[in-house]
Amino acid sequence: MAVRPGPAAFQRRGVRVRRISLAIVALAMLGALASGCGGGGKVIVQNGEQISVNRTKYLKALDLQRKQDWFNALKEWDEVIKDEPRFALAHHNKAVCYDMMNFVPEALAEYELARRYDPNNSITLNNLGAIYLRADNRLNSAFDALQEALKLDPYRPSIHYNLAAAYLTSKDFDKALMHADTAVDLVAAPSKETENGLQKSVDLPMLARYLLRQAECHIERSEMDKARKALERVEKQCREKVPADLWARVGSAESTEEVPPRG
């Protein structure tokens, strides 16, 4: 049996940094419930059905997840689920913990359970679609989950971001660019009052990721000038570093373009 690396190894790989947006979204969902928890338990309505959640166990799991202590948070979410196996939010956040550690099959199973118990949660569907993209031969499943999420929540930029990735994988570069552009437009709130031309509330690391995907779409469409502009925005507007391989793809693609004869 293969031995999985411990949390220190995952931190060295940067897994927590790459998937930090997952944790932020999950904690926003958790916080909404925590604010309503009182006493020893809490009855909530989930998908038209009342379920009871143990407040103490729930808050302990929440605290560990906020601290990004994924292994111990998993144990505590298991305790919450033992009391109420139908609690979709617990399955969702257990999936997030697995996802942040790159345990794809385990995360996939928990997201599926979360969808079973709360089928109209766009955040769960979006995360499920994203992890299908990382699983083997699950592109169609990714499209199904992401399209469901889009119907429920058409203005969530991360859904468009993930759909752009799905269409890139399927080599439908026109649709990939459409969703990449939408993701960027939904995040990049302009302002004439700031040095970078963006409102102070803009999440710059998120915008940088979306611009990188937009650049990838332009590269696949052989639109190198537009790709370069997107990469320049990453560095100038977002103050983030562009991966060297993306700059290389822009440069190498340009070098192979046919030069018209002179004279």
- What pLDDT does 251 receive? 84
The whole-angstrom separation of Cα 167 and Cα 217 is 9
- What pLDDT does 44 receive? 81
The whole-angstrom separation of Cα 117 and Cα 209 is 31
Domain covering 155-252, topology: 1.25.40
The whole-angstrom separation of Cα 42 and Cα 168 is 43
Tell me what the mean pLDDT of segment 53-57 comes to: 90
Tell me what the mean pLDDT of segment 142-171 comes to: 98
Q: Is the pLDDT of residue 49 over 90?
A: no
Q: Is the pLDDT of residue 160 over 80?
A: yes
Q: What are 37's two structure tokens?
A: 């928890």
Query: Range with the lowest mean pLDDT among 34-38, 126-130, 148-152, 177-181?
Result: 34-38
The domains of the chain are located at 7-141, 155-252
The whole-angstrom separation of Cα 227 and Cα 239 is 17
Q: What are 127's two structure tokens?
A: 């995360």
| DSSP calls for 34-50 | HTT--TTEEEEEETTEE
Q: What are 223's two structure tokens?
A: 């639109």
Nearest to 123 by CA among 28, 242, 258, 250: 28
Q: CA 73: distance to chain centroid?
A: 19
The whole-angstrom separation of Cα 122 and Cα 29 is 12
Q: What is the largest CA-CA distance in the chain?
A: 85
- What pLDDT does 47 receive? 79
pLDDT (tens digit, 9 = 90+) per residue, 170-215?
Answer: 999 999 999 999 999 999 999 999 999 999 999 999 999 999 999 9
Model confidence band, residue 30 (pLDDT cutoffs 50, 70, 90)? low
The whole-angstrom separation of Cα 105 and Cα 216 is 27
Q: What are 196's two structure tokens?
A: 């970078």
**Bridge partner list, 190:** 198
Q: Is the pLDDT of residue 135 over 70?
A: yes
Nearest to 221 by CA among 176, 160, 256: 176
Nearest to 233 by CA among 212, 248, 256, 261: 212
Model confidence band, residue 252 (pLDDT cutoffs 50, 70, 90)? low
Please answer whether residues 246 and 220 qualify as being in contact, where contact means their C-beta atoms are separated by less than 8 angstroms: no
Tell me what the mean pLDDT of segment 61-77 comes to: 96
Q: Is the pLDDT of residue 17 over 60?
A: no
Antiparallel, parallel or unpaired: β 41-46 and 49-54: antiparallel
Nearest to 209 by CA among 194, 228, 187: 187
The whole-angstrom separation of Cα 110 and Cα 124 is 10
- What pLDDT does 193 receive? 95
Tell me what the mean pLDDT of segment 75-82 comes to: 96
Two domains, one topology: 7-141 and 155-252? yes
CATH superfamily, region 7-141:
Tetratricopeptide repeat domain (1.25.40.10)
Residues of the chain above pLDDT 70, percent: 80
Q: Is the pLDDT of residue 258 over 90?
A: no
User: Which one has a higher pLDDT value, 136 or 222?
Assistant: 222
Model confidence band, residue 93 (pLDDT cutoffs 50, 70, 90)? very high
